[in-house]
A and B are shown apart, each in its own frame.
Chain A
Amino acid sequence: MVATLGAPLAIVCVYSLRSRGAYFGVEAPWTLENYARLWDPLYGAIVLRSFWIAAVSTALCVVLGFPLALFISRAGSRKNLYLALVILPFWTSFLIRTYAWMFLLRDTGLINTLLQSVGLIHAPLPMLYNSGAVILGLVYGYLPFMVLPLYATLERLDPSLLEASADLGARPFDTLWRVIVPLSAGGMRAGAILVFVPCLGTYLTSDLLGGSKTVLIGNLVQDQFTGARDWPFGAAASLALMAAAMALLFAVRRKGEDLL
């Protein structure tokens, strides 16, 4: 733990308190300047956008993941097949899968070409390089992290509770809303954390699918270490992101419950 988690974190902490090096790296004077710069409204907009995109992606993962998890938990002998299909994309690199989305979404991509060839549209739909494309990529990439904990919760749900609900006069939708949804809240929360945190820090999806218009915190951090060569500011931004994510986890945890 100390070597793999503590040491890199300590280095990032130290870097965030030093000054920018002439070409890269850090130089001697200690300073809080890097943290002060985070309050610049320019970065505020980036932070807001990052939270907004992560929140929308998480919400969409719940909306799409819940029915899917419910369906799999009811699939009887086919459960394992469906679960394998949910996990299947992990066998290919996330980078390659994101490129595949670019191939589908771009102006000369598969979808636009197809729609134009059948005459449904005359100019390509702008599907790539916007927030929508980033959200699509995130939902696609992190949906399994929502489905798996939800499935685990739904699978354990006592079937006699559903029978009791019907027995007491609840129609199927009422049983879903009053019994199944509240009793899967734990899995939903676990899934939301697993989706929200990586979405908040994403840089690859926003870089490839969002283009230059959709800069998120992750891209900002990445840029400080590469193009901008401002390691201390990059370190400060990444620590701020981590603190924000942890504060959020702390806020949503249930009383007396451990984090995660």
Chain B
Amino acid sequence: MAVLELRGVSKQFTSQGATVEAVREVSLALEPAEFFSLLGPSGCGKTTLLRMIAGFDSPSAGEILLNGASIAHLPPYRRNVNTVFQSYALFPHLCVRDNVEFGLKRKEGMRKGAVVDAASLVARVLEQVRLEGKESRMPAQLSGGERQRVALARALVLAPDVLLLDEPLSALDPQLRKQVRGELKDLQRRVGVTFLFVTHDQEEALSLSTRMAVMNAGLVEQTGSPRELYNRPGTRFVASFLGAMNWIDGVGVRPESTRIAPAPGANAVVTGTVFLGSVQHIEARLESGEIVTSQIAHGGALFAPGDRVCVSWDESDEVRFPT
């Protein structure tokens, strides 16, 4: 059975007399222990969806089921889901230990007697996120990466059915982000909790998820494994948003599937080259006037603007959508 299920969830906001449909009839089902990503551009409704699951907003229509029971109208403190906030939202007046213990102390029956139990739970979760020895630090004394791990520990110690993560990597600097990405995936595997991860970064979604949904303008465009979505995008939006895509006469071809070679059989003129280290991008204008990008490996042939070249691809790499 799905641990979390959304059935036709919609959310309308009214601001200054105008009604905005932030989320439109979203239906999703998350399996136990899966790492599920919601990917979409900013304003696509992914954060609103997360906030409805957490209980900070209530849906205008639809059902939210946690382990089969409706939670759509329960306040946040009665839902067994926890959130890692984009800004982490650590309590600045509490040390690391007190931040992590905060939820345990609020839980029913944990007020008395279970103090020893709580202490060992806190110790274990801090070990899991490698924060041993930092129990007495205040949030202001921690690095960005450490703060993020406190936020994770604080939520995971409550053993939620689903952990909601709202762009938890966006506050980190780029070098750290990749490292933390790996750690996050490891952590998820070890604790076995279902993660619902909201991001606008396609690389994060592709590398972390077991399954993912691409959202646009309040709608879920497609759901599937990262490989399925990348290789067989169901809509033009998914095809363009996940990775790059050349559009030639209504047919999509990935730059890495687009070959480029010096004449003979020239059908294009090079308009620019972009050196990216491990790969380079060659932009060329076809005779039809369309611009295509070809990604070629490091050490491949060198091209210069003005070169006449032959651009080709295999028909099996084409992506087509019925118009």
Hey, which chain B residues are within 8 Å of A136, CB to CB? none
Interface residue? A28 (CB, 8 A): no
B80-93 interface bits toward A, Cβ cutoff 8 Å, 1 = contact, 0 = none? 00110111011111
CB pair B77 A169 closer than 8 Å: yes
**B87 neighbours in A (Cβ, 8 Å):** 158, 160
Question: Is A213's beta carbon under 8 Å from chain B?
Answer: no
Q: How far, in Å, is B90 (CB) from chain A's closest CB?
A: 8
Which residues of the other chain, A, contact B92 by a CB distance below 8 angstroms? 161, 183
Cα separation A158 to B86 with both chains bound (whole Å):
13
Chain A interface residue count, CB cutoff 8 Å, equals: 18
Residues of B within 8 Å of A171, CB to CB, are: 77, 106
Option from A167, A169, A170, A178 in Cβ contact (under 8 Å) with B54: A167
Residues of chain B contacted by A164 (CB below 8 angstroms): 83, 85, 89-91
For B87, the closest partner residue in chain A by CB is A160
Contact with B along A172-183 (1 / 0, CB 8 A): 001000110011
**Residue A166 at the B interface, CB < 8 A?**
yes
Kindly state the separation between the CA atoms of A164 and B88 in the bound complex, as whole angstroms.
Answer: 9
Interface string of A8-50 (1 = CB under 8 A from B): 0000000000000000000000000000000000000000000
Residues of B within 8 A of A161 (CB): 89, 91-92
A26 to B191, CA, bound (A): 82
Interface status of A168 (Cβ within 8 A of chain B): yes
User: Is the C-beta of A130 less than 8 angstroms from some C-beta in chain B?
Assistant: no
Total number of B residues with any Cβ neighbor in A under 8 Å:
23
| B262 interface residue (CB < 8 Å to A) | no
A113 close to B (CB within 8 Å): no
A116 within 8 A of B: no
B55 within 8 Å of A (CB atoms)? yes
Partner of A160, one of B55, B85, B154: B85
Contacts of B145 in A (CB 8 A): none
* Nearest CB in chain A: distance from B294 CB, A: 44
Question: What is the minimal beta-carbon distance from B275 to any residue of chain A, in angstroms?
Answer: 41
The reply to whether the CB of B43 lies closer than 8 angstroms to some CB of chain A is: no
Given A163-B76, A164-B83, A178-B102, is A169 in contact with B107 using a C-beta cutoff of 8 Å?
yes
Within 8 A of B (CB), among A136-185: 158, 160-161, 163-171, 174, 178-179, 182-183, 185
* Of the residues A158, A160, A168, A183, contact of B103 by C-beta under 8 Å: A168
In the bound complex, how far is the Cα of B215 from the Cα of A115, in angstroms? Answer: 67
Measured CB to CB, the closest approach of chain A to B308, in angstroms, equals 57
Find residues 164-214 in chain B having any chain A CB closer than 8 Å to their own CB: none
Instruction: Let me know if B158 and A160 touch, CB within 8 A.
Output: no
Give the complex CA separation of A179 and B94 in angstroms.
9
Residue of B nearest to A181 (CB): B93
Give the complex CA separation of A160 and B56 in angstroms. 10
Chain B residues with CB below 8 A from A158, complex form: 87, 89
CA separation between A174 and B104, bound complex, in Å?
13
State whether the Cβ of B75 lies closer than 8 Å to any Cβ in chain A: yes
Which chain B residues (110-153) contact chain A, with CB distance < 8 Å?
A: none
- Name which residue of chain A comes closest to B51, CB basis: A163
Q: Are A168 and B158 in contact (CB under 8 A)?
A: yes
- What is the interface of chain A, defined by CB distance below 8 A to chain B? 158, 160-161, 163-171, 174, 178-179, 182-183, 185
- What is the interface of chain B, defined by CB distance below 8 A to chain A? 54-56, 75-77, 82-83, 85-87, 89-93, 102-103, 106-107, 154-155, 158
Q: Can you give 8 A-B contacts (C-beta < 8 A)?
A: A158-B87, A163-B56, A165-B91, A166-B75, A167-B55, A167-B82, A170-B77, A185-B93
- Counting from the closest, the 3 A-B pairs by CB-CB distance are A168-B103, A169-B106, A164-B89
Known interface pairs A168-B155, A170-B106; 7 further A-B residue pairs with C-beta atoms within 8 A, sorted by A's residue number: A160-B86, A164-B89, A166-B76, A167-B77, A168-B158, A169-B77, A170-B77
